[in-house]
Structure 1
């Protein structure tokens, strides 16, 4: 009976979000609500929706990859526009499915779960708390990723902006969608994650569900992204107190096709995204020399993360979900070590930051040649930490956010360049300067049309 009800509910969710009129839709399907805590738990165990549906656009604009002219010429108009950071609004399809509807589908699941918990009475109080924590965590994660793509970059103390995202807090699709302010969006995410920490368990059976360590870690990632270094440090340390195990690359077969197993020891929370596969498929993606050239010969990540396609072109293989079919969009211990190291340095604890950084690097470099890193001042330490951060976390859904925040600091800002073919078949260079308004994507045009929300102004 529970399985039948669950299938009915999932069918409704899918029918809602697969329609291009999403956010302006009036459902005409009746369905059975979850009637027990077990029903809600089953809903949140739906891995392909709960642990998938992460945005591809959060990776597609970075400086970590390029595609050749022939691959570019065979992509649709939307993906060509995406690749060259087009100035104008994206073409009619606008990536609405994989970069808007899919994450909001997961938000819908979270809202159904949270609302059902208000209606369903009784049951195990511990399970009830865990399910509520799950729902808040899940919704917050998607809200944050959506803001990295569709809202301007924000640091604590910035003037507020009206170009936030719709904070869908209800499963009622009749409610109109309205863009929140950017500041309100971050405040909602942070508040909900703080609530989830109080509700989630210390341990979970499978990493497809969040625990306290995961919630602390996500909060640390978000606070780092907005320059709240003291709180980011506190939360990264809280996460690491619960889970600090690092894989030693010295003892692994790094020459394997895919060296990392899904749900490996470093994974705190599992997530994946196949979005933007038409642009970023392993068969056409090439690592930029800018990234590949950062790895020294004794850096084991050079072998663990990359494999040659031709003598001078490399593709990525270091996916923490064990497959090139999707990028790893979850959270892992190595990221938290780097967050803690950066925030220690930024709060004046340079030597402690270097100690934290070396906790990671001793597992990443050939142990016979590794020399612990040292720094005499904050700038030198930050340069070391940020260099290792980029080398450690490619294709994790993180680099785009890092570019957005670091571009605010002239010491670390960067101009990105890509080459593509014009309509006349001539090579053209696309340029994305630091702080450019194109670091905030347009909401897909058909979503604006159906919902009457304001479009982002550049």
Structure 2
């Protein structure tokens, strides 16, 4: 069970620190063991790609039908099938023993960040400025994990109820058995904002490596958080600050030209190297999806592919219709380490566009959107979009954002925000076994259940389940 895995990590880390605290008693380092002491020792924890930079959003991608669910997975994982087919007859709480990965991977990353935040300030062989910078990186990364958790296992932020609605456990200590509280939605959002604002003064514009989130990433994360809170003024401010640091976009038309023979080949199984890797020009920082290794971009159901506009060159570069046995879907044709959940410039452009639209600055909003579309729509099909209403502008912006940030937490978090607002909602609909099935904006399925293991083995705290099934 995943909880055992996390407990093992925490036990090992705690044991390492215990050796340090008992050094006077032992008077020597254990042979063959390295006790973290220098800042470089603690900074190395933040480079752990498997534990710190994985952010699994698989179930939200299944719920949205962004991610194709194979027949074999549907048969083997009842909760996957329930989310994918919007089946309200299935008790997801009961079946969540088979999908604990999102919860425990996120808290594993948080634990590593807590370890650094607690110990880097007294680490040796560093200046105060260097120590503060490493702590700041850890705070930004911790916030990213908490945003995912808060938008997975709790209701989305609504100012009218955020102070009363329970969110997720807030854990700020790396010690085994540390006490914690399941805080409210308002408290977890306040915590995230405070962490980011404390970190920003100590960060360079861009981090030491793409695994280190600098000011650009912190500003971008604040823009995402404020947008989720429906605070469009502050979201716009921080999106602009992020774009002032990096405003580059991938030109998918240029990528197509460079990889045309592979992309246009009807029967070839060849793939192109993704431009969304470690060197992606759009990245403020890099975070994986479910796996910390290179692979094809995820597969997509046929009906979901229809949500791309005609001439979308980004779609053409990344997916191709594929049939195996009785199953037909769009298979990924780019491969590599893909920045699914790091902060990227394209998100900031689209946050900016929505905030401008909300302020009824429709021309400016569409200009920003079209700046993005010039990079994602085929040059021979491109036409600038205009909007005569806020609703029309947001519909265009949402389509582009859902597509370009597919397989990240963003489309799911955005859908929950629109659902809570109740104005620009979508009801998802598809054909399943000859019948039409739907997912309404008011469905309980937009909040995932905590894993049973977390409820039953809550440690030095308690967790209240946030959804009935």
Establish whether TM, by shorter chain, passes 0.5: yes
Alignment of 1:40-439 (within 5 A): 40-67=42-69, 69=71, 71-73=73-75, 75-85=76-86, 88-91=91-94, 94-95=97-98, 97-120=100-123, 123-253=126-256, 255=263, 257-261=271-275, 262-263=277-278, 264-274=280-290, 285-289=299-303, 291-310=304-323, 313-317=328-332, 322-323=335-336, 328-417=340-429, 431-439=438-446
Distance 1:101 1:31, change over 3 A: farther
Distance 1:404 1:258, change over 3 A: farther
1:32-78 C-alpha deviation (Å, 9 max, x unpaired): 552111111112122222222444334232132443545422x2344
TM normalised by structure 1 equals 0.84
Aligned-partner Cα distance in 2 for 1:419–1:318: 26
**Shift of the alpha carbon at 1:121?**
5.5
**Shift of the alpha carbon at 1:316?**
4.9
Aligned-partner Cα distance in 2 for 1:211–1:71: 38
CA-atom RMSD in angstroms = 3.3
1:296-338 C-alpha deviation (Å, 9 max, x unpaired): 442212312321113994325377xx43x87712121111111
**Shift of the alpha carbon at 1:117?**
2.2
Question: Does 1:450 find its partner at 2:457?
Answer: yes
1:383-417 C-alpha deviation (Å, 9 max, x unpaired): 22122222322222221112111123444222234
Query: Is contact 2:162-2:184 (8 Å) kept?
Result: no
Map of 1:38 onto structure 2: 40
How many pairs were matched up? 431
Q: Please give the secondary structure, in 2, of the residue aligned with 1:314.
A: strand
**Shift of the alpha carbon at 1:202?**
1.3
Distance 1:286 1:371, change over 3 A: closer
Distance 1:90 1:303, change over 3 A: same
Aligned-partner Cα distance in 2 for 1:128–1:96: 37
Query: Is contact 2:358-2:390 (8 Å) kept?
Result: yes
Distance 1:24 1:179, change over 3 A: farther
Aligned-partner Cα distance in 2 for 1:53–1:171: 19
1:191-245 C-alpha deviation (Å, 9 max, x unpaired): 1111122221113342111111011111111211221111111111101011001
TM normalised by structure 2 equals 0.82
Q: Please give the secondary structure, in 2, of the residue aligned with 1:231.
A: helix
Q: Please give the secondary structure, in 2, of the residue aligned with 1:91.
A: helix
Q: Please give the secondary structure, in 2, of the residue aligned with 1:441.
A: coil
Distance 1:446 1:39, change over 3 A: same
Whose helix proportion is higher, 1 or 2? 2
Query: Is contact 1:55-1:275 (8 Å) kept?
Result: no
Query: Is contact 1:114-1:135 (8 Å) kept?
Result: yes
Query: Is contact 2:57-2:408 (8 Å) kept?
Result: no
Further displaced range: 103-112 or 149-158: 149-158
Query: Is contact 1:34-1:116 (8 Å) kept?
Result: no
Map of 2:23 onto structure 1: none
Further displaced range: 189-198 or 238-247: 189-198
Alignment of 1:17-36 (within 5 A): 18=5, 30-32=18-20, 34-36=36-38
Q: Which runs of 5+ in 1 are unaligned?
A: 1-14, 421-425
Aligned-partner Cα distance in 2 for 1:362–1:236: 20
Query: Is contact 1:448-1:454 (8 Å) kept?
Result: yes
Aligned-partner Cα distance in 2 for 1:282–1:112: 33
Q: Please give the secondary structure, in 2, of the residue aligned with 1:408.
A: helix
Q: Please give the secondary structure, in 1, of the residue aligned with 2:126.
A: coil
Further displaced range: 113-122 or 446-455: 113-122
Aligned-partner Cα distance in 2 for 1:435–1:446: 27
